[in-house]
Structure 1
Amino acid sequence: MSLSVLNIEVIEEKLEWQNLLNRVKYYDFYHTYDYHQLSKAIDEKPILIKYEDNGTVIGLPLLLRKIFDTEYYDVTSVYGYAGPLHNNIDASFDNSDFISQLNQFFYEKKVVSVFSRLNPFIKNQEAILGELGDLIELGKVVNIDLTQDVDTQRSVFSKTTKRYINKGRRLCSIRHSNSKEDISAFIKLYYENMDRVNAKKNYYFTEEYFDYFINSDDFQTDVLLATYNETNEIISAAMMVKTNDIVQYHISGTRNDYLYLTPIRILIDEMRINATSKKYKYFNLGGGLGASEDSLFRFKSSFSKDYKVFKVWKYIVNQEIYDQLTEQYATLDNETDFFPLYRAK
């Protein structure tokens, strides 16, 4: 991609992408090349925007997509916790040159709007993006502080969670496995979960997705399985992803017949004990559906009250074109908070 912007480079190849991640040093699996390849839709191109000036480095991973049949584009982020990465930046960072050059890049590429989810565990993302669009707090995610000893962590568990963990550990066994047979069992449990909650079609990941994910060398994936001792059948499984000092609770599934045991609790418990022993710092359980404080959030908060703020970044690069596209394509009332509005249906 040729550019006239002095300090901006666009990276699309895996080796260069990883080289930049190595330079910024601190990142999450949501920022990796492989996760972007797994997450992109057919009409989306993963790009990593690199800005460098006098030892300051910024990496901004995004998904570039054409806006319907127009000449314009917009960018979004992968599902999860992404946002900018950096080296040699603190809270006092003067982002004026970065903003100027990023704007010039967006205009040259006819990018109309930008949306990105941010990462609660990456410091100074707001310093990089400040004064550029809106940084909006959506809700909270639940983190287990792995820098505490395991007994201190457990001391804040709710009575219900402690009771179910004790019962689950008596009735079940836990193992880590990436065998083809166990992954196949995990996928079936995951699909059963999606059926139960009437999930949208795009949540039914293919077997190829799981295979690529688990075998990626960009991050480490642990698959934990809970086996019911009496029948020796797998009744619950979870996929946890480790990158640097962060553990992310990614996806899970439980057999309908064993929901009353909530065996996912013992898998979370096992992961936090294991990760603590390996000196990880954060174990992110995520938030509620749509960042709301719903029953899912309350379940997760039964493990910890260490809440982190989850924010998103919304930026209209070209207001005139944005308004034209909204008038032409939007099918929802303008009162919706969907962004960008021209894609609201």
Structure 2
Amino acid sequence: MIKLFTIHDKLEWTSYVDKAAEYDFYHTWHYHMLEPDSSGSPTLLVYQEQDNFIAFPFLKRVIPESDLFDLSCVYGYSGPFSNRKMEDLDDTFTENFKEAFLNFLSQEKYVSVFSRMHPFFKQQLLLEKFGGVHENGRTVVIDLSESIEEQRKKYRQSTMDAIKHAWKRGFKIREETGPEAIELFTSIYTDNMKRVHASDYYFFNEAYFEKILNTPEYDARLLTAYDGDTAICSTIVMFTSGIIQAHLIGTRSGYEHHSPAKFMADEISVIGRLFGMRYYNLGGGLGFKEDALFKWKLGFTEHCLDFKSWRYIVNPTKYQELLDKKNIDKNADIDFFPLYRYA
């Protein structure tokens, strides 16, 4: 039997996350609460047999001009979680989940499901039972179980040179809290996004940053690099389940040639070890392409994990009808899902 919890069911949502064998901040009620209404209605879908469960957070969306729906996910790595690791789930249990989930999707008039998967958790073992697991690219990961000395030996020379330059100039990292720190971060981050002509998707207001940083559900930290009294780079990172996620970062205009973000990443790896973190996920390229951003991250390590998404068509007939309505060829070479929401 499928149970559904909405953003109004905070206690139930958080109780399942608390019981998870593996989870990240992307799964939490608080992170979903930050979603704008235009993104969809946050929903936690739960299948349970006695003490065992599979939970799957989604954003429920109405398909315009229809009585149909689809499911998407928050920005970042989400996917299903359970009270047991995915590789430890019983086959009978997962088959029962599949049957219950498919029945639910059919009865509730869902056309498609999209979810980014977490590169550290073996969610593909569950979702491959449905089909639709898609290879998106790679994400760059620093292994914090190594010593900092071994880690730095793997840096590209230009990366190490930038960090040594920062040391020579006396750059410092400060962890900051409070309204002034958030205002400063917002200014640096927003100017950076404008400078690189980022899409509206990557812009957030000060209230959003205040909310994302202030919650007991995960450990969010605001770190700022200073050249003397001048803030030159600022980032929000998340410490959850032994994993540091590089969430958002901005560099002050005029300081790009000093590469303070490289210094910042190196310092965060040091801080992470102090708090017992196991990995520092730098992420992938823009749209998870192996672009200039991806190559920049490879300057720290060549250790990468595969990043996958789940792109499942529940109702092929309705999916095709929606494509026809927009005159979209289902075989078009467009990396977008569901394709009927393209353009």
Q: TM-score, normalised by structure 2?
A: 0.94
Shift of 1:51: 1.0
- The corresponding residue for 1:3 is none
Cα displacement string for residues 10-45 of structure 1 (whole angstroms, at most 9, x for unaligned residues): 112111111001111320011111111213442510
Matched, 1:130 2:124: no
Distance, in Å, in 1 between the alignment partners of 2:288 and 2:128 is: 22
Shift of 1:179: 2.6
Distance, in Å, in 2 between the alignment partners of 1:326 and 1:338 is: 13
Q: Which amino acid aligns with 1:173?
A: K
Change (3 A) 1:42 1:28: same
Cα displacement string for residues 181-220 of structure 1 (whole angstroms, at most 9, x for unaligned residues): 1221111110111111111123210111001011122211
Distance, in Å, in 2 between the alignment partners of 1:211 and 1:17 is: 22
- The corresponding residue for 1:286 is 283
- The corresponding residue for 2:196 is 197
Q: Which residues of 2 match residues 3-152 of structure 1 at below 5 A?
A: 7-12=1-6, 13-42=9-38, 44-88=40-84, 89-90=86-87, 93-94=90-91, 95-122=94-121, 124-152=122-150
Q: Which amino acid aligns with 1:68?
A: P
Native 8 Å contact 1:221 1:239 kept in 2: yes
Distance, in Å, in 2 between the alignment partners of 1:330 and 1:303 is: 44
Q: Which amino acid aligns with 2:119?
A: P
Distance, in Å, in 2 between the alignment partners of 1:308 and 1:211 is: 31
- The corresponding residue for 1:4 is none
**SS of residue matched to 1:256:** coil
Native 8 Å contact 2:135 2:309 kept in 1: yes
Q: Which amino acid aligns with 1:85?
A: F
Identity of aligned residues (%): 35
2:307 to 310, 323, 328: 310
**SS of residue matched to 1:257:** coil
- The corresponding residue for 1:240 is 237
Deviates more, 1:180-189 or 1:35-44: 35-44
User: What is the root-mean-square deviation in Å for CA atoms of aligned residues?
Assistant: 1.6
Q: Which amino acid aligns with 2:98?
A: I
Native 8 Å contact 1:39 1:79 kept in 2: no
Q: Which amino acid aligns with 1:206?
A: N
Distance, in Å, in 1 between the alignment partners of 2:255 and 2:289 is: 26
Shift of 1:92: 6.9
Distance, in Å, in 2 between the alignment partners of 1:81 and 1:279 is: 21
**SS of residue matched to 1:190:** helix
Shift of 1:334: 4.4
Distance, in Å, in 2 between the alignment partners of 1:298 and 1:118 is: 22
Distance, in Å, in 2 between the alignment partners of 1:173 and 1:137 is: 39
Q: Which amino acid aligns with 1:9?
A: K
Native 8 Å contact 1:50 1:57 kept in 2: yes
Unaligned ranges ≥5, structure 2: none
- The corresponding residue for 2:247 is 250
Distance, in Å, in 2 between the alignment partners of 1:23 and 1:90 is: 17
Q: TM-score, normalised by structure 1?
A: 0.93
Q: Which amino acid aligns with 1:11?
A: F
Shift of 1:125: 0.6
Distance, in Å, in 2 between the alignment partners of 1:188 and 1:106 is: 43
Shift of 1:337: 3.2
Native 8 Å contact 1:90 1:127 kept in 2: yes
Shift of 1:54: 4.5
Q: Which amino acid aligns with 1:339?
A: F
- The corresponding residue for 1:272 is 269
Distance, in Å, in 1 between the alignment partners of 2:342 and 2:295 is: 30
Distance, in Å, in 2 between the alignment partners of 1:118 and 1:257 is: 36
Q: Which amino acid aligns with 2:65?
A: D
Unaligned ranges ≥5, structure 1: 1-6
- The corresponding residue for 2:225 is 226
Cα displacement string for residues 46-87 of structure 1 (whole angstroms, at most 9, x for unaligned residues): 011111125431110000010002100000011111101012
**SS of residue matched to 2:100:** helix
Q: Which amino acid aligns with 2:66?
A: T
Native 8 Å contact 2:55 2:80 kept in 1: yes
Distance, in Å, in 2 between the alignment partners of 1:331 and 1:150 is: 51
Change (3 A) 1:251 1:323: same
Q: How many residues align?
A: 336
Distance, in Å, in 2 between the alignment partners of 1:208 and 1:189 is: 15
Change (3 A) 1:327 1:271: same
